[in-house]
Amino acid sequence: MKKPARRSGGLVYSTAHGQMCPRCGQPTIRCACRRSAATPEGDGVVRVIRQTKGRRGKAATLVTGVPLAGPELANLGKELKRKCGSGGTVKGGTIEIQGDHRDSLVAELERRGWMVKRAGG
């Protein structure tokens, strides 16, 4: 059985520019293909969910459906974590915040102008 051809070439790191984008070949700071990423499509509703599944009974609050992508979503996650005074992460377009902070998150997201629903248990 023949192995598939390996793609060779392409600059990954440059001492002059640092990390390079494999798609467009530009430094990641000036990368054109990452900026052109479209905002995620949805129904226009931001959902705030309390979840304990897979966390040994400890609660986490998830925020889904936010119409932001990339660094804007990461910045929003950082601000929400700071407002709640707890840790968390941004994974796959979802903001996860440790603890049950649904009430404060719903109020904050409504203040920012989004239509927000409490979802789940």
Per-residue pLDDT of the chain (121 residues), as tens digits, is 555 544 555 666 666 777 777 777 777 777 777 655 555 566 788 999 998 888 788 889 999 998 888 889 999 999 999 999 999 999 888 999 999 999 999 999 999 888 999 987 6
Residues 6+ apart with CB under 8 A from 101: 61, 84, 86
- Cα 47 from Cα 39, distance rounded (Å): 17
Torsion of the alpha carbons at 28, 29, 34 and 36, rounded to the nearest 10: -140
What pLDDT is attached to residue 41? 62
H or E stretch including 38?
Answer: none
- Cα 118 from Cα 46, distance rounded (Å): 9
